[in-house]
Amino acid sequence: MPCTYIVSGGASRLGAAVVRRLHSAGHNIVVGDLDEGAALALSEELGERCFGAACDVGEDLHLEQLVRVARDRFEGLDGIVNNAVTYIDNGIFSSREEWHRAFNVNVFGGARLVAEAVPLLARSLNPAVVNVASIAAKMAQKGRALYPVAKAAIMHLTRMQAVELAEHKIRVNSVSPAWTWSRPIEQASGGDRQHADEVGATLHPLGRIADAEEVADAVVFLLSPQASFITGTDLGVDGGHAILGPDAGIPRQGALAKPPSDD
Ligand SMILES: NC(=O)c1ccc[n+]([C@@H]2O[C@H](COP(=O)([O-])OP(=O)(O)OC[C@H]3O[C@@H](n4cnc5c(N)ncnc54)[C@H](O)[C@@H]3O)[C@@H](O)[C@H]2O)c1
């Protein structure tokens, strides 16, 4: 049966991979993205089951519009993917304004969108929310604060939403990708995928970075009836990154051996 999903930030490579997976399975999608041109281009490409709209998830009126489109155009709503993100970050020295903007987009946007959509989601046979978190939620990094702290908040928000919305049978989970081939990694590597994979190999036991489609597959699974008894959890899509200890998976005991002394 065709379902209807809202995907925020759905015009990005990663968001669009989710949109394409859902669309090719026959579902309707409402794409809300700050990048209006990219959202409209995607909906034009996919056709009438995909509606692209300019949306700032930091604005309640925009979120209300996404829910209204799902209701009026597709007659219901079965799931939400909170994928939109701002990478604005000046580390622990970020200004109050920067903290507000980062949290307004990365945390409050998804929180408010879900709250707005509860009455409509509650009518679905398999209502589900997937919040896109990150491996950054659990690891400290120098030079950053807003993004990792917001992602940590998203993980706990996921648990709070899951327990609160269980009475409506709405399941809420998060996914935590590690390095994924999308705009930020593409930019940082100068568009060199092989180089990104080589650097990423030291961080991911599977020896490369992720494709956006691999993250999308995890999101689609969590939205599906196959995940019907899964709620409040975080699914790592990280090539094994989270299981690494301080040696990054490389045997280093040898480095402890002291050179034999001359005496
Ligand atoms: N790329 C990675 O390596 C990686 C790793 C872990 C997690 N993630 C997560 O994956 C998701 C997608 O990230 P990405 O790497 O594709 O980043 P991206 O910057 O390419 O995509 C983000 C999308 O969100 C949109 N957006 C930004 N601000 C918005 C706003 N206020 N309202 C609505 N839309 C807005 C952008 O226009 C863009 O389309 C994010 O949640 C990110 O944290 C990415």
Domains of the chain: 4-179+216-240 (3.40.50.720)
Q: What percent of the chain has pLDDT over 70?
A: 100
- Please classify residue 24 by burial: count the beta carbons closer than 10 Å to its beta carbon, then call 0-12 exposed, 13-18 middle and 19+ buried: exposed
Q: Given the residues 108, 147, 179, 181, select the one marked as catalytic.
A: 147
Per-residue model confidence as pLDDT tens digits over 139-155: 999 999 999 999 999 99
10 Cβ below 6 A of ligand 1: no
Q: What is the arithmetic mean of pLDDT over 57-64?
A: 98
Q: What is the arithmetic mean of pLDDT over 229-254?
A: 89
Q: Which of 182, 186, 203, 215 to mutate to test the pocket of ligand 1 (most atoms within 8 A of CB)?
A: 182
This prediction's pTM: 0.96
Angle at 93 between CA 87 and CA 95, to 5 degrees: 75
Report yes or no: 88 and 101 within 8 Å, Cβ to Cβ.
yes
Q: For residues 73 and 14, what is the distance between their CA atoms, to the nearest angstrom?
A: 25
147 is annotated as an active-site residue: yes
Examine the pLDDT at 256 and tell me if it is beyond 90. Answer: no
219 Cβ below 6 A of ligand 1: no
pLDDT of residue 38: 98
Ligand 1 midpoint to CA 263 (Å):
60
Q: Which of 12, 35, 203 to mutate to test the pocket of ligand 1 (most atoms within 8 A of CB)?
A: 12
Six token digits for residue 52: 């692209």
86 Cβ below 6 A of ligand 1: yes
Mean pLDDT over the full length of the chain:
96
Q: Which of 10, 123, 22, 120 is nearest to 72 (CA)?
A: 120
CA 225 to chain centre: 20
Element (H, E) at 41: helix 36-46
- Could you write out the DSSP letters of every residue in 63-129? HHHHHHHHHHHHS---EEEE--------GGG--HHHHHHHHIIIIIHHHHHHHHHHHHHTTSSS-EE
pLDDT of residue 251: 75
